Amino acid sequence: MEETYPVSGGPAKGNDIPPVSYLKWYIPRLKEMREHNLSFSGLQFPWELGSFDDVWKDHRGPGVEDRAMVSEMYGIPVENIHLTHGATQALGIAIASASRGGKVAVEMPSYGPQSQTARILGLETVTVRRIPTRKEWIIDREKWSEVLSEVDLLMICPQLNPVGWTYTEEDREWLVGFCKENDVRIISDEVYSGADRNWKPFFAEGDNCISISSLTKVHGLGQIRYGWMIASEEIIANAENTFHNMAGIMATPVIRVAERIKDRLHEPVDLIEYYREKNLPLLEQALERLGIEWTPPPYGVFGAFRIPGVDTMQMIDTIGKEHGLLAVPGCMFDSGLDEWLRVGWSIDPDSFSKAVKVLESVIITAMDIT
């Protein structure tokens, strides 16, 4: 079978540019509009923003500061912030701004752009992996220390996709300390962190750390492509130069929509917590009946579990399609995850209840066939 997971390696240009296989697989299936959709990696929030007068007119003027909303969100100076058109663009801007030309360690499992963008920017990447336990996913410190001793940049996604688990406190403390000692800069993709009210952004760990986020996953506003990076003033100055070269300036409609919702950012987080309260017990009960051991991550909108002996991509493309079910196979995020399935619970409880019943039936059929 053709590889579907992200790949590390040398600089990639032209025909060597790796695809985001997840999107090539997912977008056509999303367009099928399957009735029972457990594939969402972010919140589906019912925003009603009304109409905008002159949304296209330049928002800039005396006293206008584009970065004020993010500054207020984090309680930091605007000089430590750069806005981008989504977190995906922020990844490229951050790599270009923070790299010193050395190798880049990329964390797996991952969403393709998190681990592949550095290659497109002409840098060599090497892989580090978190490993599953009966609960958290943890760092193999011996293997990580070997790799991190040879790089000058590390790409991470603390709220690991597809499983939703962040670092243990001990792993995070070790990682931050090791990278400081070895002069490794950390780029942390924190697009899911807004669902954790107690989250401490990585940029707060020191000048070698950069945090990236957006209004897409937690706040349900992916359509407007509003993202940001937070870093030291030195790196932000590099980011400004990079952004002006690659993207010019932020689009006015994006800024206007963001300004419209800035006082309502708590609403999606409240809804996520409501969905977790109502939906997660149903999923846990279904998996328990199936004999599948799983501990949900403590916050967020998705998680992943292993279905022993079942190729989940084949299951979703055959039995799942027959039953109108869509969820995301683990093979989209790393090798060795062919038996893993990512399920999202960021939909209304009635729809989720029906979808979980279908999911249980699909898994039973797949396990019986196996």
User: How many of the other CB atoms lie within 10 Å of CB of 15?
Assistant: 5
CA-to-CA separations, 204 to 48, 67, 154, 209, 212, in angstroms, rounded = 34, 18, 16, 7, 12
pLDDT per position as a tens digit, 295-323: 999 999 999 999 999 999 999 999 999 99
Burial of 109 (0-12, 13-18, 19+ CB in 10 A): buried
Whether pLDDT at 145 is above 90:
yes
User: How many of the other CB atoms lie within 10 Å of CB of 3?
Assistant: 11
Specify the CATH number of the domain 14-45+266-369: 3.90.1150.10
Per-residue pLDDT band for 3 (boundaries 50, 70, 90) equals: confident
Whether pLDDT at 2 is above 80:
no
Domains of the chain, residue spans: 14-45+266-369, 68-263
Res 369: pLDDT: 79
Terminal Cα distance for the chain, rounded? 18
HEC states along 284-335? HHHHHHHCCCCCCCCCCCEEEEECCCCCHHHHHHHHHHHCCEECEEHHHCCC
Residues 243-257, mean pLDDT to the nearest whole number: 93
Give CA–CA dist 280/287, Å, rounded: 11
HEC states along 178-242? HHHHCCCEEEEECCCHHHCCCCCCHHHHCCCEEEEEECCCCCCCHHHCCEEEECCHHHHHHHHHH
The maximal CA–CA distance of the chain, rounded, in angstroms, is 67
The mean-pLDDT minimum among 42-51, 98-107, 272-281, 337-346 falls in 42-51
Whether pLDDT at 224 is above 60:
yes
Please give the share of the chain, as a percent, with pLDDT higher than 90: 93
CB 363 within 8 A of CB 312: no
- Beta strand 125-132 with 137-139 is antiparallel
Three-state DSSP state, 343: strand
Nearest to 196 by CA among 106, 115, 300, 119: 300
The mean-pLDDT minimum among 22-31, 59-68, 102-111, 329-338 falls in 59-68
Res 370: pLDDT: 62
Residue with tokens 């992200």: 6
- Beta strand 209-214 with 227-230 is antiparallel
Res 56: pLDDT: 82
Whether pLDDT at 115 is above 70:
yes
Res 298: pLDDT: 94
pLDDT per position as a tens digit, 226-249: 999 999 999 999 999 999 999 999
CATH architecture observed for domain 68-263: 3-Layer(aba) Sandwich (3.40)
CA-to-CA separations, 331 to 163, 306, 310, 315, in angstroms, rounded = 12, 11, 12, 12
3-state helix, strand, coil in the chain (%, to 5): 45, 15, 40
All residues at 6 or more sequence positions from 247 whose CB lies less than 8 Å from its CB, including other chains? 84, 85, 89
Res 55: pLDDT: 84
Residues 116-145, mean pLDDT to the nearest whole number: 96
Output the average pLDDT for the chain.
95
CB 195 within 8 A of CB 299: yes
Nearest to 242 by CA among 231, 258, 256: 231
Three-state DSSP state, 137: strand
Give CA–CA dist 207/224, Å, rounded: 29
